[in-house]
Homo-oligomer: A and B are copies of this chain.
Amino acid sequence: MRPQTPEQATRDAIEHLSTLIHGIKVAMMTTVDADGSLHSRPMWTQDHDFDGDLWFFTRVRSHKVEELEEDHHVNISFADPARERYVSVSGRCQLEKDPRRMRDMWSPALEAWFPQGLDDPELALLRVSVQRAEYWDTPTLGASGPDSSASNLTFS
């Protein structure tokens, strides 16, 4: 093993996660409700160059935004059953209303959920800063016990 600086380790983790989630269009975002229960919902992913943050479009007035105001922890899970690839991303999430970034990230596929497009005053972004990721893919799956089969990526 070659010695690695923490910065290089983070860069490698970012690159690896970027490859793992590439092509998975919809992820499940889990949040914590006021009573402690956990909810998830499908969210359209952004295929822009991943640099340590994941981005999603959202409506400002929505249940998930309320939940995130109380508890900013999220899990984003990516499941690709056809390739037997599963990725769990743990992070913290915040709402951002950055018109320029929204323009950059907008894609026509989003019109199904946001018919008014970029003009929608309710439109905003959720930024997930990734703390940790775990993944299971074909070579790992089934290679060993369920708790030893995950590979870890740590972001600092």
Contacts and interface: CB of A to CB of B under 8 A. Distances in A.
Interface of A: 24-26, 28, 30, 32-33, 36-42, 58-59, 61-64, 71, 73-75, 77, 79-82, 86, 88, 90, 112-115, 131-132, 134, 136, 141-142, 145-147, 149-150
Contact of A40 (B73, B77, B145): B77
B32 A86 contact: no
Given A42-B86, A112-B141, A136-B41, A73 B146 contact: no
Contact of A28 (B28, B41, B63, B131): B28
Nearest to A86: B42
In the complex, the 4 A-B pairs of residues with the closest C-beta atoms, listed nearest first: A112-B142, A38-B75, A113-B146, A42-B86
